[in-house]
Copies of this chain bind each other. A is one copy, B any other.
Amino acid sequence: MNAPTELPSLPTIADVEDAARQLRGIAVRTPVLENPLLNEKLGGRLLLKAEPLQLAGSFKFRGAYNRISRLSAAERQRGVVAYSSGNHAQGTAYAAKICGTPAVIVMPADAPEIKIANTRAYGAEVVLYDRYKEDREEIGKRYARDRGMTVVPPFNDPYIISGQGTIGLEIAVQCAERDGKPDVVVAPASGGGLIAGVSLAIKDRHPDCAVYCAEPDKFDDISRSLAAGKICSHDGSGKTFCDALMAPHPGDITYGVMSTNLAGGVTATDDEVEIAIATAFHYFKLVVEPGGAVALASILNGKIPCAKRTVVAVASGGNIDSTLFSEIIGRTKPV
């Protein structure tokens, strides 16, 4: 996957299929959920790919394992380093554990206790930093340099993208098992690793299917990038409780894939995400975290119409604090 030009080498469907072989028997083949009453309300067919049921509670395990399991014996011995406040931390820590590789995870000192505790429980060494004064990438690079560790990037990496793309392969098979053909597939996006990978699989299996990314309102850097035809950042004016989806802009590799494969981007507000969380609770009995519910929210708020179509939404993670979940479920009604 190395190219000697300044354009990045983009992963292909063959890489995604290769990742699927690598992950077979390791990652969970998460179910696709459907509810007849909700379908009736929407006037169409909504299928929810349930990645909260993935190992370590989100899709992140797939890409991390696909990356780490490719390391040479010598690289494995030196270990891996990643920076993340949440799902990528836990996914990388657990993938490293399975691969028998030491892992250093650089996390903000004010990250939720439970995420730090889980990352440690998976056997990783957690290095805390001050997110207002220190640069996590700098710290990560220092570990890479000093200990010879391999960086496991959160999204802008062909192996990471291909690993997340296995979700798209599963969606294609699971739709066929249910006598369905997806008209639209939508997944949450921060740096775009998930939706880029999913788009590789879906556009190969269903070229006519429209693939969208869903972002929190005001964190619409991918939507802007796709509209402008070049990598853009969001304007930095927004606030959101979708803590997993705050990357400032896509990477050159994720953008390269998305610019070819995506029909566009849609957004949802925090209030709409709360309704999506309550809806997933009520109709699907599934715990979804804010960032994981943005794609579902973009269907329920009408940005992705579902009437007379089959729409697949990826629920990408379920690592939400019990206090916040309790509050949301207590105050918010499902659609």
| Residue A7 interfacial (CB < 8 Å) | no
**Interface set, chain A 222-272, CB cutoff 8 A to B:** none
- The A interface, classified by DSSP as helix, strand, loop or mixed, is helix
Q: Which of B28, B36, B285, B318 contacts A52 (CB under 8 A)?
A: B285
Q: Which of B57, B122, B325 contacts A329 (CB under 8 A)?
A: B325
**Distance (whole angstroms) from the CB of A68 to the closest CB of chain B:** 16
In the bound assembly, the distance between CA atoms of A269 and B159 in angstroms comes to 48
**Distance (whole angstroms) from the CB of A112 to the closest CB of chain B:** 13
Q: Which of B121, B323, B329 contacts A37 (CB under 8 A)?
A: B121
**Interface set, chain A 276-306, CB cutoff 8 A to B:** 278, 281-282, 284-288
| Residue A156 interfacial (CB < 8 Å) | no
| Residue A322 interfacial (CB < 8 Å) | yes
In the bound assembly, the distance between CA atoms of A94 and B122 in angstroms comes to 42
**Distance (whole angstroms) from the CB of A186 to the closest CB of chain B:** 20
Number of copies: 2
With contacts A94-B36, A121-B40, A329-B329 taken as known, whether A281 is within 8 angstroms of B287 at the C-beta atoms is yes
In the bound assembly, the distance between CA atoms of A122 and B55 in angstroms comes to 34
- Asked if B330 and A323 sit within 8 Å, CB to CB, the answer is yes
**What are the nearest 9 A-B pairs in CB distance?**
A285-B318, A326-B330, A52-B285, A285-B287, A326-B329, A326-B326, A322-B329, A37-B121, A31-B31
Residues of A bordering B, CB below 8 Å: 28, 30-31, 33, 36-37, 40, 50, 52-53, 55, 57, 94, 118, 121-122, 278, 281-282, 284-288, 318, 322-323, 325-327, 329-330
Name 28 interchain pairs, CB-CB below 8 A, sorted by A: A30-B31, A31-B53, A33-B53, A36-B55, A36-B94, A37-B121, A37-B122, A50-B53, A52-B285, A53-B284, A57-B285, A278-B322, A281-B287, A281-B322, A281-B325, A282-B322, A285-B286, A285-B287, A285-B288, A285-B318, A286-B286, A286-B287, A287-B287, A322-B329, A322-B330, A323-B330, A325-B329, A326-B327
